[in-house]
Amino acid sequence: FGALKRAKGACKSDLQEQQGLPVRADVPLFGMISRLTDQKGLDLTVDCVDRVIGLDMQMTFLGTGDARYEEFLSDAARRHPEKIATTIGFDDALARRIEAGADIFLMPSRYEPCGLNQMYSQMYGTVPIVRRVGGLADSVIDASGENREAGTATGFCFDNYESDALLSQMQRAVRSFSDNDEWMKLVQAGMQQDWSWKRSASEYLAVYRRATEIHGS
C-alpha cells in the first residue's frame, strides 16, 4: 500500500492547502460535490454537520442550489474554518481535487437513478458513503465484516432516509479510517472496480446470448 498511500496523501495535502484547512494526514477528510438540494440528501447532511464537528475530522463542500443550504454550509465554514471549507458554485478543477484528495465522499441521496460521483470516488481512491438506493445500491458494497473478509467492500451504506442513519455511517467511517491497513484495503478494492463500457458491453452481450439460447430452445 506504500505507493498508493503516498499518492493519495499528496492529493489530500494539496486539497487541504488549497481549501485553507490544516494539512493533516491523520484525520479523515470528507468531501461532497453536489447540487445543494433535498434530492441529494442535503437535509440529512446539514443536520449532521454540527453533530460531527466534535470528531477529529475535516469536511469540504462544493456545489450550488437551494439558498438555505448555501447559507448554512457557508456559515459552517466561517464558524469552523479549521474543519470545514465551502465553495459555492461550479468548479470542475476543484471537483477533481476533491475526488482525488478527500478520504471519504458523501452521497446520501433521497433517490439516485444512476449516480456518477460514487464511481468517480472509487476510481480516485475515495471511499463513498451512500444511501442504498437506485444506482448507489448497485455500485457500492458495504464494509460489513463479511464483505471486508471477502475483499469486496468498497464503501459504507445505509437504508433509512434519516440523519441518524447518515451520522452513524460517518462515525463508522471515522473509526475505520483509524485502522490504516483495513482502510487501504477499502481504497484499493474501490480502485479495482471496472466501470468501463467494455465491461457493460460484455454484460449486455451475455444477456443477448442467453436470450438467443432460450429462444432457440
30 φ, ψ to 5°?
-85, 140
pLDDT band at residue 211 under the 50/70/90 scheme: confident
pLDDT band at residue 9 under the 50/70/90 scheme: very high
Calculate mean pLDDT across residues 156-182.
97
User: What is the C-alpha to C-alpha distance for residues 43 and 128, in angstroms, rounded to an integer?
Assistant: 18
**Amino acid 134: pLDDT:** 94
Q: Is the pLDDT of residue 199 over 80?
A: no
Calculate mean pLDDT across residues 39-51.
97
Instruction: Specify whether the CB–CB gap between 156 and 173 falls below 8 A.
Output: yes
**Amino acid 100: pLDDT:** 97
Q: Is the pLDDT of residue 217 over 70?
A: no
Q: Which residue has the cell 444511501?
A: 131
pLDDT band at residue 37 under the 50/70/90 scheme: very high
**Amino acid 39: pLDDT:** 97
Q: Is the pLDDT of residue 145 over 80?
A: yes
**Amino acid 50: pLDDT:** 92
Q: Is the pLDDT of residue 78 over 90?
A: yes
pLDDT band at residue 16 under the 50/70/90 scheme: very high
- What is the b/e burial string over 93-125, where b = at least 16 CB atoms within 10 angstroms of the residue's CB? ebbebbbbbbbbbbbbbbebeebebbbbbbebb
**Amino acid 200: pLDDT:** 74
pTM of the predicted model, to two decimals?
0.91
Q: Which residue has the cell 475526488?
A: 99
Neighbour order of strands in the sheet with 104-107: 84-88, 58-65, 29-36, 104-107, 127-131, 156-158
Calculate mean pLDDT across residues 53-65.
97
User: What is the C-alpha to C-alpha distance for residues 27 and 196, in angstroms, rounded to an integer?
Assistant: 32
